[in-house]
Structure 1
Amino acid sequence: MQLPLPGRQAQQLMAPAPRRYEPEPGSSPRHSAVLLPLHPEGDAIYITLMKRQENHQHHAGEISFPGGAVEPADKDVIQTALREAYEELDIQPGDVEVLGLLTPLYIAPSHNLVQPVVGWLKSPPALKPNPAEVAEILRAPLMHFMRAGTLHWETRQNGQQPLIVPCYQLGENCIWGATAMILSELLALICDLEQLPA
């Protein structure tokens, strides 16, 4: 990823409002990483997401990328993302070519600073979801998220207050919040790459 990242401007396109982008001064957020697994299928590039189990601690039933908290044994956030993708979806770390990192994203409800890692697999992976964490595997061509009609608004409950959020529709699933914001930056970066001279 040699181009300047689209960054927060691209993330904000899919951000619920109002939203905090930085931790409280003096606080120490948890550090996490997620893997954005891309692979070719026919003439398209696909991305893999997953639906978390309803009993998940922080994001029950939500659509996310494979990922989780940085552990002391991890040498860096890339290793965290690869380890979590292996634990959750059985993506073999040796099969992943790391293309680069996107902009870190702070998630206030879980006090989490998430580092997105973009990975490339040469062929569609044979996934084995961890049933303790993963309810469903979702795959879609990246172009799906650029089509008119995929983006819409939904009302979600935020404590006692209704929250109107932008989301990407994928079948019966709504991709919103941090996952949608990370995906928005990836899509913006791809658009920037396509505008480069051949």
Structure 2
Amino acid sequence: MTKLLMIQRSMNLKRNAGQVAFPGGLREEEETPDETALREFEEELGVDRSEVTILGYLRPEIIEEHEIFVYPVVGWLKLSEDYEFIPNFEVKKILVDELNKILSTRRMSEKGIIFELSGHTVWGASSRILDDMYRRLKQSFHENRYKTKEGYLK
């Protein structure tokens, strides 16, 4: 069963304190999006970057109020159920749940599309990134549903 990991940001942060987000942060000079994602994941959660396999990318997002571009990098992490993360000061809580359960909570609100994760609402840029994943998985499911050895069913 595939699970999704997000974090609740510390209440002591200047930006987006207490919000649910994907691990990540600002790019350092000369870093690629992959390098930034792996460094931030390691810093925030204490997981050695060599444990993460990069799978691909989702649509970039802009956070207009901060003039920040976000380049979502999707990674795979295979850990035991009892693995203990070592979160840093930026992380209040680590949130992990089954991907299909999270995606099934998708709904519209006054904030736009939102999702629920472990009793927390995912909204804003994080929900737009999650919605991109939802749409890609849904499209892939439907495309593969009608695929045969000879091609697609008509």
TM over 0.5, shorter chain: yes
Alignment partners' CA distance in 2, 1:92 and 1:192: 33
SS of 1:179's equivalent in the other structure is helix
Q: Quickly say closer, same or farther: Cα 1:107–1:122, change in 2 above 3 A.
A: same
Q: Does 1:100 align with 2:56?
A: yes
In the alignment, does 2:13 pair up with 1:56? yes
Whether the aligned pair in 2 keeps the contact of 1:50 and 1:65 (CA below 8 Å) is yes
Cα contact 1:152–1:169 (8 A) shared by 2: no
Could you tell me how far 1:172 is from its partner in structure 2?
Answer: 2.5
CA deviations on 1:95-117 (whole Å, 9 max, x unpaired) are: 11101111111110111000000
What is the alpha-carbon distance in structure 2 between the residues aligned to residue 143 and residue 191 of structure 1? 11
Question: CA separation in 2, counterparts of 1:101 and 1:172?
Answer: 27
Give 1:73 shift: 4.9
Equivalent residue, structure 2, for 1:86: 42
Is 1:69 aligned to 2:31, yes or no?
A: no
- Report the 3-state secondary structure (helix = DSSP H, G, I; strand = E; otherwise coil) of the residue aligned with 1:180: helix
Q: How do residues 121-140 of structure 1 correspond to structure 2 at under 5 angstroms?
A: 121-124=77-80, 126-130=84-88, 132-140=89-97
Aligned length: 142
C-alpha contact 2:6 2:22 (8 A) present in aligned 1: yes
Compute the displacement of 1:122 (Å).
2.5
- The question of whether the paired residues in 2 share the 8 Å contact of 1:82 and 1:93 is answered with yes
C-alpha distance in structure 2 between counterparts of 1:170 and 1:49, whole Å: 9
Paired residues for 1:11-50 under 5 Å: 44-50=1-7
Q: Deviations over 1:73-111 (max 9, x none)?
A: 52x110000000000011211111101111111110111
Query: What runs of 5+ residues in structure 1 fail to find an aligned partner?
Result: 1-43, 155-163
Q: Is the 8 A contact 2:9 2:93 kept in 1?
A: yes
SS in 1 for 2:17: coil
TM-score, normalised on structure 1? 0.67
For 1:194 and 1:86, how far apart are their aligned partners in 2?
A: 32
Let me know the Cα RMSD of the aligned residues.
1.7
Higher relative contact order (CA 8 A, sep 6+): 1
Deviations 1:171-192 (A, max 9, x none): 3311100000001111211222
CA contact (8 A) 2:7 2:93 kept: yes
Distance 1:114 1:171 in 2: 24
Which one has the bigger helix percentage? 2
Residue of structure 1 equivalent to 2:67: 111
- Shift in Å at residue 170 of structure 1? 2.2
Distance of 2:134 and 2:15 partners within structure 1: 26
User: In structure 2, what is the equivalent of residue 151 of structure 1?
Assistant: 106
> Which residue identity does 2:106 align to in structure 1?
L
Whether the 8 Å CA contact 2:97–2:118 is kept in 1: the answer is no
